[in-house]
Amino acid sequence: MKLSTNDLHELADCAIAAATEAGQMIARSRPQDVQRKAGGASLASQVVTEIDKRSEDIILEVLRPTLEPFALGLLTEEQQDDGGRLTADNFWCIDPLDGTLPFIEGTPGYAVSIALVGNDGTPHIGVVYDPVESTLIHAVAGSGVYRDQQRWLLETARHGELSVFADRSFLASDERAGLVDGLERIAQDMGFAGVRIESSSGAVMNACAVLANTPACYIKFPKPTAGGGSLWDFAATSCIFTEAGASATDIYGARLDLNRPDSTFMNHRGVLFASDDELAQRVRTLHQ
């Protein structure tokens, strides 16, 4: 089913309502029952709380009624992938609580993320709600990016430090020293005042922080083991980046594979979000 512009905006309104309701519930909550689940190699991909599941329930109560009328598939983190995303023309891609570790620790860096993705992997809608700041960011393909319902225009600064956002695994990586050296060379070549590395947030808020702290990038290099984040970690922010005129690609510069048929993990090609294309091109050279 081909969706019209009006359809997309109607569905975006549903996603905004769902993310806001779930995010406000999260803002009022603290985790009581932390569990482990099957996931990637990192602790961040394995922990889940009752709040993750409650958030998902809230979101699905709003979005399930859209599935049949719009012939949509559904992929959500806390339920098994039923393969419907591969046969539907479009599917909801939901992370009910990205950044569960920061949420458990009581620190900023977690969010609700909802995307509508086409069968070819193109994100058409991206909605992110930050429960800590009560901030909503959303984008619809062809309509720009909005922050708290106001048009958000990206400022591509060419001064100050280069902000680099990474997952916690980056800090423990054997390649960290070499990568930091490479990033410092890039910063010097581009006239920046140095490099600042942040690694306290989940994938969704890391990506949003790139847009709020230009010049900046968020890097996840490919790895052979399962992990590297999942489709729902990057779908919404990929739409937001596209509409902001920023760069959201894999580490090789190709479009993110947001409907990967053989897995929901993204470790195969890595992820690179950058505030502009020139910075993205330079960071790609660090991966040989």
- pLDDT tens for each residue of 77-103: 999 999 999 999 999 999 999 999 899
Q: Is the pLDDT of residue 246 over 60?
A: yes
Domain limits of the chain? 5-151, 162-284
Q: Outline where DSSP puts E strands in the chain.
A: 34-36, 47-49, 72-76, 90-98, 111-118, 123-130, 135-140, 145-147, 150-151, 162-165, 195-198, 216-220, 247-249, 271-274
- Residue 49 has a pLDDT of 87
Which single residue is written with the structure tokens 């719009």?
Answer: 70
What is the C-alpha to C-alpha distance for residues 245 and 144, in angstroms, rounded to an integer?
Answer: 9
- Residue 225 has a pLDDT of 86
Q: Is the pLDDT of residue 224 over 60?
A: yes
Three-state DSSP at 12 gives helix
pTM as predicted? 0.94
Which single residue is written with the structure tokens 């996840």?
Answer: 220
Q: What mean pLDDT comes out for the span 18-24?
A: 98
Round the average pLDDT of the chain to a whole number and report it.
92
CB-based burial label for 185 (10 Å; 0-12, 13-18, 19+): middle
Three-state DSSP at 273 gives strand
Architecture of domain 162-284: 3-Layer(aba) Sandwich (3.40)
What is the C-alpha to C-alpha distance for residues 10 and 204, in angstroms, rounded to an integer?
Answer: 23
* % of residues, the chain, pLDDT over 90: 81
Q: What mean pLDDT comes out for the span 215-222?
A: 94
- Residue 287 has a pLDDT of 87
Q: Is the pLDDT of residue 260 over 70?
A: yes
- Residue 168 has a pLDDT of 83
Q: Is the pLDDT of residue 11 over 90?
A: yes
- Residue 43 has a pLDDT of 45
- Residue 47 has a pLDDT of 63
Q: Is the pLDDT of residue 227 over 90?
A: no
Architecture of domain 5-151: 2-Layer Sandwich (3.30)
- 162-284 shares the fold of 5-151: no
What are the tens digits of pLDDT across the range 145-198?
999 999 998 877 677 899 999 988 777 777 788 889 999 999 999 999 999 999
Considering 147-151, 226-230, 266-270, the range whose residues carry the highest mean pLDDT is 147-151
- Residue 36 has a pLDDT of 55
- Residue 228 has a pLDDT of 85
Q: Is the pLDDT of residue 222 over 60?
A: yes
